[in-house]
Structure 1
Amino acid sequence: MLPFPLPVTSPAQLAYQLLQDSDWAHAHRDLDLPVELRTVLSMIMDSPEPLWIAWGAEEKAFFFNDAYLPFLGGKLHGAMGNRLDVVWADVWADVAEAIDDAFAGRHRSFKNLRLMMDRDGTPRETFWTFSYSPLRMAHGGVAGIICAVTEQTEQVAERDLHVRQVAAITQEAREAHLELVRAREQLRQSQKLEAMGQLTGGVAHDFNNLLQVITGSVDMLLPAWPAGDPKVKFLHAISGASERAARLTAQLLAFSRRQSLSPEVFDAGDGVRALTTILATVLGERVALRMALPERRLPVLLDRSQFDTALINIAANARDATNGTGEVTITLEPVAGVPAVRMAGPLKGPFLAIHIRDSGAGIEADVLGRIFEPFFTTKAVGAGTGLGLSQVFGFVKQSEGEVDVTSVPGYGTTFTLYLPLTDQPTEHSVDMTGHPPTDGAGRTILVVEDNADVADFAVGAVASLGYGVVLARNAESALDELRKDAARFHAVFSDVVMPGVSGLDLGLAIRVNYPRLPVILTSGYSELLSKNPGHGFRLLKKPYSLKQLADALASVETSTGV
């Protein structure tokens, strides 16, 4: 005889057998229990859905059906008829309030409720969807509660996995979008630079040819002019204005990355040390200059003149930012790569990082994005050209590096130049100390220049140094002169931009056919040279002075042993 028989469809089900074997059933076999309890127990035993009930507001006896068995795990033993708060002691604090509400006659439900549940000796994160409903007696009082329940742990895990996958895809899409935006910005900037480069390049070539005639003529007139003549000041004014015009042209070419670079290998630390006096002068006495330079050598392959100019331009900017009083610190360090800067992606490889930090007023955010634009300046009219930082930008980019700037208004600004390191050995320039420009007597120079005015000046300038001169109007004529008798020439001095064969191609042909004949190239601007900085020829940039021409001719004679 079963201690607590019920009318159920399948008496063989495990939950029904557990009920009959429970301590609760044996303890209540002779008691007159409410018909409502038997009715609800029969109902849940026959239900295919996971259900359980708790009977008695104080006792809270726990009963469940076969569909609920898998949720119990190791709690199954002794659970049937036991106190609900005993069986679910590990989660009782999370559900007790809701159960009390249900016993008070109020319905409660949860969706994906997180419970740390111990069903096998280890607390694990689980998720549940269930609802509590009160069970009322015929007189209306609440005698128990019934719970419809489903475990959502696997579904939540799958959902979270899906969310993570969607998030990952979204992140990839976001990164792809940012990359597209970056590429568009790079293209826009590239097109902007290309347009400016074409404009400045064309203007620079013709403009520097004009400046060459002006500055060269003044250079040749000054030594012969009477020192006491008051008109000398006008020659000096012409010379000074021409030099300023040449610098403006050079800065425009620098920004558009079309300047003709003359790269050489040198130690960056030595380069910065050599500038100490100049930088201190630029900053002024009330701005302290501090340096943190490593002992190890940091070889770079750069145009040293442009390197110096970039540091001087940043120092001048720092001087103005500090209003003449403050501190500037220059730090050098090797780095393994360059982070993403503005819209440009990161760069890999050994780089030199030059940090120039000032204690000035800082730069406002709306200004920071424009500081490298040519002619942009926050200074008063006439106080600056707006081309200093443009030169820095163009030089660094043309040198395959990057420039970054961070600033906090009121606390100062830090410029960081990233320049590629090289493993090439440091070059040692020819020591001209004690070797004045060689007297050109007995030596002949082949001058190649297509511009009539510049050719007249070049021929006159070379002749004034004592050299014999043969003029060729183009590369073809120059090659004809060499084929006649190349041995009579001690050097070739050629313009780069000429109709037909360029001066660079002429130099390469001479290097192959007349390898012992030195070649000096000159140009106010050449896209060929800006794209091929490693051509290896001595370059004299227009407009050049008479002394620079003399030094160039002397240097090739000294280096070749002529």
Structure 2
Amino acid sequence: MPVASPIPLAPVPPMIGGGEMGDLVRDTDWSSTALGDYSSWPASLRTALSLVLNTKGIAALYWGPQQWLLYNDAYGLALGDRHPAAFGRPMPEVLTDIAPVLSPQVAQVLATGDGFSIENLSMMMRRHGKEEETVWTYSFSPVQGESGGYEGVLLLASEMTQQVLADRKRDRAEHERAQALLRLSELNAGLEEEISRRTADRNRLWLLSADIMLRCTFDGVITAVNPAWTDLLGWQESELIGLSLFELIHPDDLAHTQQGASLSADGHAYARFDNRYRHKDGSYRWISWSTQPDEQQINAVGRDFTAERESASALAAAEEALRQSQKLEAIGQLTGGVAHDFNNLLTVIKSSTDLLKRPDLSSERRARYVSAIADTVERAAKVTSQLLAFARRQTLQPTVFAPAENLRALASMIKTLVGAEVELAMDIPEHSHFVIADPSQFDMAIVNMAVNARDAMVGQGRLIIRVGPARRGSEANEQPMMPGDQVVISMTDTGSGIAPLHLGKIFEPFFTTKGVGQGTGLGLSQVFGFAKQSGGEITVDSEVDQGTTFTLYLPQASEPREPRSVEAPHELVHGHGTGVLIVEDNPQVGAFAMHSLTDLGYRPVLAINGQEALAELARDASRFKVVFSDVVLPGMTGIELAHEIRRRYAGLPVVLTSGYSHVLAEKGTDGFELLHKPYSVEQLSRLLCGAMCTHFSRVT
């Protein structure tokens, strides 16, 4: 490639001229090229180059067998982005796209000395960064050297691309206009026949259709009906033309139909519009319409679906009856299971109380029977807690905690539960992920799942517990669709797995594959209820003889602030005449609370509902230092009563109690203290004291 030099070794005569390319010739150090120093060039080359440079049109010189390319400004413009790198180099090397056409022609002229010309030759040429079609008219003329032979070829060319492409476009517009005229002529020739055929087809459809067809104005006046009206609704065409269709509409569907007609006037079409039309005999038929308005009227086709609607209604009624039957069966199973478990518990209590009545009972045996009663009450409370968890009616006390910390604390208990021959692996990250849920119910759910895994492994195997954030879209564990972020707690065992037949029933209450007396079937239902009531989910993935993975999803929460340390209230040994208003509608529970608090030195007063309690306070509220109210009351609930007391008597604390309440399950305690039933006298006394002490500290 030529190398530019500000001071040529052999000056080129200025008379060479040639615009920018002439300057390029003068500024190039030709001595470093295969052509040699300019002063050594033969006169024939200099003369031919001067002719090329000073030609106004596109001109080039291909010199020697290597076809060295020298050209003028116009040729450089035609080359596009390959100029000026192509100047002074062999043409076959730099014009690789058109060289297969031009190079043989140049070689032929050099060999024979016969020039020639070509018109409108199309060639694909790379320029301006892309391949494009170009069209050229050009001539080749031989240049004779000093030895008498032919040393070069002179190219004179005109680019015809724009003209030829324009001619082609014009010609195509004319292959196309003629074809369009031909097609139009053919269409016009068959248009009348097509119109006649379609009109006949439409008329046949209008006459033979089993669906009713209608044309009416936008204000509902019928202008045309097909014969199907007579078969379906009993009306003759003469009775319908000019009649307002609104006179045939069922009164309950009239406003709906009038609104539809009004929207149709604005151009709205209906794929389905249902209403009832009056038969001539006075009955009604359900019609499903498809409508399409034009500028003047509504065109509609209607299908009678009265029978389908009646069948669907009958099917829905049958399905509802089946659901009710299934509900009754489930309730029967549930109550039967509860009765079975509680009969066992009551047997222990009844036997213990009978033995306690014996006069010759030793103090050691008396303590044993009392302990048996207390333990049985605890087991009964656990059964009711599991039932409430499944029914999502337990009173949860959600707080923000880290499941990983709870699992670490439970690790030793779980290891004891599963046994020494079960390997326990805990995959728990160092960084804690927080959830909002009831931590005690969470612990119970984990224990229930661990016991279930232990039984599935028959005391031998491996149990893996993992904690981490939910990984959305994970192939290994597709999480359920739930709003917000979740934390995942999974438990995988190597046990016997769950058969597909049983997989859909494992969370049902009292469902168990264990033998009689080996389980209540409430463990997994408690986990299910806890997950649902906490705003989470529980899923199971199992394969027979390969093991099972239970995955618990709980709503993720931000890290809690450090809680303030609160000094626990001292247990109240004696009430010292403190006034307590008890609100309880159950006579036995109310009497027990009255006697218990009286024995502890309180002065209790009993009210059986909210209105009676407010009346007692209205007489003299200063008698009472605390109100102890059940949540489930006739009329006003305990929470509503507590709010009313807070509004009227801001200085009077309220403690609530409940064993079950859908209000508490759905809305919580609204910040009031809560004592769960069944409760002990010590628990009641401690909570009353704590409520009074806490309220007093806030006031002071």
- Secondary structure of 1:410 counterpart: coil
Deviates more, 1:255-264 or 1:337-346: 337-346
CA distance in 2 between partners of 1:376 and 1:504 (Å): 35
Q: 2-side partners of 1:356 and 1:541: how far apart? A: 30
Residue 133 of structure 1 corresponds to none
List per-residue Cα deviations over 1:229-274 (Å, max 9, x = no partner).
Answer: 5344443333333332332222122112122222222222222223
Paired AA for residue 550 in structure 1: S
Q: CA deviation at 1:348?
A: 2.8
Q: Amino acid of the residue matched to residue 663 of structure 2?
A: L
Residues 1:320 and 2:455 aligned together? yes
Give, in whole Å, the separation in 2 of the partners of 1:522 and 1:194: 32
Structure 1 position 408 matched with structure 2 position 543: yes
| Counterpart position of 2:620 | 485
Residue 552 of structure 2 corresponds to which residue in structure 1?
417
Per-residue CA distance 1:28-56 (angstroms, 9 max, x = gap): xxxxxxxxxxxxxxxxxxxxxxxxxxxxx
- Counterparts in 2 of 1:263-412, with a 5 A limit? 263-335=398-470, 346-412=481-547
Larger Rg: 2
What is the identity, as a one-letter code, of the residue corresponding to 1:310?
A
Length-normalised TM-score, structure 1: 0.57
| d(CA) in 2 for partners of 1:310, 1:241 | 21
Q: CA deviation at 1:495?
A: 0.7
Tell me which residue corresponds to 1:21: none
With over 3 angstroms needed to count, the CA separation of the structure-2 counterparts of 1:469 and 1:226, relative to structure 1, is farther
Q: How far, CA to CA, are the matches of 2:475 and 2:635 in structure 1?
A: 42
Q: Structure 1's 436 and 274: CA in aligned 2 closer, same or farther, altered over 3 A? A: farther
Deviation at 1:323, TM superposition (A): 1.3
Aligned to 1:510: 645
Q: Which range moved further: 434-443 or 378-387?
A: 434-443
Confirm or deny: 8 A CA contact 1:432 1:555 kept in the other structure: no
Q: 1 CA distance for matches of 2:466 and 2:500?
A: 24
Distance 1:357 1:342, change over 3 A: closer
Give SS of 1:348's match: coil
Q: Distance in 2 between matches of 1:555 and 1:456?
A: 23
- Could you give the per-residue CA deviations for residues 89-114 of structure 1, whole angstroms, max 9, x where no partner exists? xxxxxxxxxxxxxxxxxxxxxxxxxx
Task: Determine the C-alpha separation between the residues in 1 that align with 2:478 and 2:642.
Answer: 39
SS at match of 1:288: strand
Question: 1:465 is matched by which residue type in structure 2?
Answer: L
Equivalent residue, structure 2, for 1:520: 655
Q: Distance in 1 between matches of 2:476 and 2:579?
A: 52
Q: Which residue of 2 aligns with 1:245?
A: 380
How far apart, CA to CA, are the structure 1 residues paired with 2:565 and 2:690?
A: 7
**Structure 1 residues 365-408: Cα deviation after superposition (integer angstroms, max 9, x where no partner):** 22222111111111110000011001000111111110011122
Paired residues of 1:540 and 1:549 also in contact (CA < 8 A): yes
Q: Is the 8 A contact 2:404 2:428 kept in 1?
A: yes
Cα 1:521–1:534, aligned 2, differ >3 Å: closer, same or farther?
Answer: closer
Alpha-carbon deviations, 1:496-527, whole Å to 9, x = none? 11111111111122233333432221112111
Q: C-alpha displacement at 1:475, in angstroms?
A: 1.0
Q: Determine the structure 2 residue equivalent to 1:455.
A: 590
Q: Deviations over 1:70-100 (max 9, x none)?
A: xxxxxxx9xxxxxxxxxxxxxxxxxxxxxxx
AA aligned opposite 1:384 = G
Residue in structure 1 matched with residue 666 of structure 2 by the alignment: 531
Q: Measured at CA, do residues 253 and 292 of structure 1 come closer, stay the same or move farther in structure 2, by a change above 3 Å? A: same
Which digits, 9 at most, give the CA deviation of each residue in 1:272-304, with x for residues without a partner? 223223222222233233222233333322222
- Alignment partner, residue 89 of structure 1: none
- The total of aligned residue pairs comes to 365
Aligned residue identity for 1:259: Q
Counterpart-to-counterpart distance in 2, 1:414 and 1:280: 18
C-alpha contact (below 8 Å) 2:571/2:685 kept by paired residues: no
Residues 515 and 195 of structure 1: is their aligned pair in 2 closer, same or farther, counting only changes over 3 Å? Answer: farther
For the structure 1 residues 462 and 365, does the alpha-carbon distance in structure 2 shift closer, same or farther, using more than 3 Å as the test?
same
Contact 1:266–1:427 (Cα < 8 Å) also in 2: no
Tell me which amino acid in the other structure corresponds to 1:288: E
- CA distance in 2 between partners of 1:472 and 1:292 (Å): 54
Contact persistence 1:359–1:413 (CA under 8 A): yes
Q: Distance in 1 between matches of 2:361 and 2:429?
A: 52
CA distance in 1, matches of 2:403, 2:438: 11
AA aligned to 2:536 is G
What's the C-alpha RMSD, in Å, of the aligned pairs?
A: 4.1
Deviations 1:5-64 (A, max 9, x none): xxxxxxxxxxxxxxxxxxxxxxxxxxxxxxxxxxxxxxxxxxxxxxxxxxxxxxxxxxxx
Q: Secondary structure at the match of 2:627?
A: strand
2:636 to 501, 521, 525: 501
Question: Within 2, Cα distance between the matches of 1:529 and 1:194?
Answer: 28
> 1:339: how far off?
9.0
- Determine the structure 1 residue equivalent to 2:691: 556
| Alpha-carbon separation, structure 2, partners of 1:228 and 1:338 | 64
**Pair 1:469 & 2:604 matched:** yes
Letter of the aligned partner of 2:522 in structure 1? L
Quickly say closer, same or farther: Cα 1:229–1:534, change in 2 above 3 A: closer
Q: What does residue 365 of structure 2 align with? A: 230
Alpha carbons of 1:345 and 1:269: their partners in 2 closer, same or farther (altered >3 Å)? closer
Distance 1:377 1:261 in 2: 26
* Letter paired with 2:442: F
Residues 342-362 of structure 1: CA distance to partner in whole angstroms, max 9, x if unpaired? 999611311111011122222
Preserved contact between residue 570 and residue 686 of structure 2 (Cα < 8 Å) = no
Q: State which drifts further: 482-491 or 322-331.
A: 482-491
Residues 404 and 521 (structure 1), Cα distance of their counterparts in 2 relative to 1, 3 Å cut: same
Give 3-state SS (helix, strand or coil) of 1:230's partner.
helix
Q: How far does residue 561 in structure 1 lie from its aligned partner after superposition?
A: 4.2
**Conserved? CA contact 1:264–1:427, under 8 Å:** no
Question: In structure 2, do the counterparts of structure 1 residues 323 and 518 end up closer, same or farther at CA, with 3 Å as the change threshold?
Answer: same
| Identical-residue share of aligned pairs (%) | 48
Contact 2:495 2:548 survives alignment (8 Å): yes
Unaligned runs of 5+ in 2: 1-122, 124-318
CA 488–423 in structure 1, closer or farther in 2 if over 3 Å, else same = farther
For residue 353 of structure 1, give the secondary structure of its aligned residue in structure 2: strand
CA, structure 1 residues 193+320, in 2 after alignment: closer, same or farther (shift >3 Å)?
Answer: farther
Aligned to 1:48: none
| 1:470 Cα deviation from its structure 2 partner | 1.9
The alpha-carbon distance between structure 1 residues 318 and 343, as it changes in their structure 2 partners (threshold 3 A), is closer
Q: Do the aligned residues in 2 keep the contact of 1:522 with 1:541 (CA within 8 Å)?
A: yes
Compute the TM-score of the two structures, normalised by the length of structure 2. Answer: 0.46
Distance across 2 between alignment mates of 1:276 and 1:434 = 31
Instruction: Judge conservation of contact 1:306–1:395 (CA < 8 Å) in 2.
Output: yes
Shift of 1:193: 11
Does the aligned pair in 1 maintain the 2:498–2:543 contact within 8 Å? yes
Higher relative contact order (CA 8 A, sep 6+): 1
Aligned partners of 1:258 and 1:530 also within 8 Å: yes
Distance 2:467 2:398 in 1: 20
Structure 1, unaligned runs of 5 or more? 1-76, 78-183
Tell me the alpha carbon deviations over residues 171-225 of structure 1, each in whole angstroms, 9 at most, x when there is no partner.
xxxxxxxxxxxxx99x979x9599859x87xx99xx9xx99xx89x99xx99xx9
* Distance in 1, Cα, partners of 2:694 & 2:550: 39
Bigger shift: 453-462 or 405-414?
405-414
The one-letter amino acid of 1:281's match is: T
Query: SS state of the match for residue 384, structure 1?
Result: coil
